[in-house]
């Protein structure tokens, strides 16, 4: 059964001197908790975060800039190991948080589909079998044989989304990539995302767009300076937002 279980998660970035935040730079107006001095400086981007998700859940991650949303996605994807706490994931995970990540700029869209498929462990036969469906969903037409570097952000987003969802992930992690597609593609992508969640998958989407979150998610996790509020249903979150606005 697909599930995510996060228990008391803490993630601290250790900052080397060359990694910015030197004392003569402007103070960070927002973000995680800065600690230490000089080479021992660190940022605690997530602290004491706990939540559980089950099959069919579509979680929205919300919070101001630097709240820890992207860091949480990266921990769920396994890019960063927790500094402390536990993350237990059951299910095949794929991520779409940087549209250009993992694409060869010089290679065509078609070649990039092959490369991504191979990285995902598909055989050439499996790639061939999915190729036309991926191209059709992306609606890139003849541009599929143009180098990736010639694509607009929206075109790159179409290809990235089409490949990632063709890989049939059980858990899909996303940030606001969807904003790069035009309105029609966004509708199509939303339908496919909902279908994926219905097929007993889990979606985690970090976004600043209330409309997108309301349409896509059933649960909301609000992060602030790296700490999380208790999980809310999307209805509770909307009601709280409306109340705060009054
Ligand atoms: N690679 C890194 N090295 C050091 N600190 C980092 C790194 N990535 C993020 N941080 C810090 O961790 C904190 C959380 O950042 P994160 O990118 O997770 O926020 P976010 O909620 O996704 O923000 P945004 O809405 O702006 O995308 C910030 O204080 C940021 O400065």
Q: Give the E-state strand segments of 69-174 in sequence order.
A: 84-90, 93-96, 171-174
User: 92-114 burial, b if ≥16 CB within 10 A, otherwise e?
Assistant: ebbbbbebeeebeeeebbbbbbb
Q: Is the CB of 13 under 6 A from ligand 1?
A: yes
Query: How high is the pLDDT of residue 178?
Result: 63
Q: Is the CB of 207 under 6 A from ligand 1?
A: no
d(CA 246, CA 233): 20
SS3 43: strand
CA of 13 to the centre of ligand 1 (A): 9
For 217-227, the pLDDT digits (tens) are: 999 999 999 99
Q: Which tokens in the block code for residue 129?
A: 């079998």
d(CA 68, CA 155): 28
For 145-193, the pLDDT digits (tens) are: 999 999 998 899 899 989 988 877 899 898 876 666 788 888 888 888 7
Alpha carbon nearest to ligand 1 atom 11, residue: 45
Query: How high is the pLDDT of residue 96?
Result: 79
Which atom of ligand 1 is nearest to 223's Cα? Answer: 21
CA R_g for the chain = 19
For 32-41, the pLDDT digits (tens) are: 777 776 667 7
> Is pLDDT at 82 greater than 70 in this prediction?
yes
Domains within the chain, CATH numbers bracketed: 1-92+174-182+204-246 (3.40.50.300)
**Rounded to two decimals, what is the model's pTM?**
0.82
> Is pLDDT at 79 greater than 80 in this prediction?
yes
CB 161 within 8 A of CB 22: no
d(CA 96, CA 85): 25
Helices 153-166 and 109-119: crossing angle in degrees, nearest 10, is 40
Query: How high is the pLDDT of residue 130?
Result: 94
């Amino acid at each position: 059964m697909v599930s995510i279980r996060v228990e008391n998660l803490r993630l601290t970035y250790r900052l080397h001197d060359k990694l910015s935040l030197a004392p003569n730079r402007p103070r960070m107006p927002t973000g995680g908790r800065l600690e230490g001095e000089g080479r021992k400086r660190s940022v605690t981007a997530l602290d004491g975060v706990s939540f559980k998700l089950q099959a069919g859940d579509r979680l929205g991650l919300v919070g101001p800039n630097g709240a820890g949303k992207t860091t949480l996605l990266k921990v769920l994807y396994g890019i960063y190991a927790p500094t402390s706490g536990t993350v237990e994931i059951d299910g095949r995970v794929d991520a779409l948080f940087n549209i250009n990540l993992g694409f060869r700029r010089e290679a065509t869209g078609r070649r990039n589909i092959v490369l991504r498929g191979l990285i995902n462990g598909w055989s050439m036969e499996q790639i061939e079998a999915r190729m036309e469906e991926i191209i059709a969903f992306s609606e890139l037409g003849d541009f599929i044989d143009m180098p990736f570097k010639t694509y607009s952000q929206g075109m790159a987003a179409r290809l990235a989304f089409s490949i990632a969802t063709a890989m049939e992930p059980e858990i899909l992690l996303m940030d606001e990539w969807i904003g790069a597609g035009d309105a029609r593609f966004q509708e199509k992508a939303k339908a496919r995302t909902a279908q994926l969640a219905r097929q007993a998958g889990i979606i985690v989407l970090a976004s600043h767009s209330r409309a997108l979150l309301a349409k896509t998610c059933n649960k909301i996790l609000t992060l602030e300076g790296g700490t999380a509020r208790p999980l809310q249903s999307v209805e509770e979150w909307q009601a709280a937002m409306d109340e705060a606005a009054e």
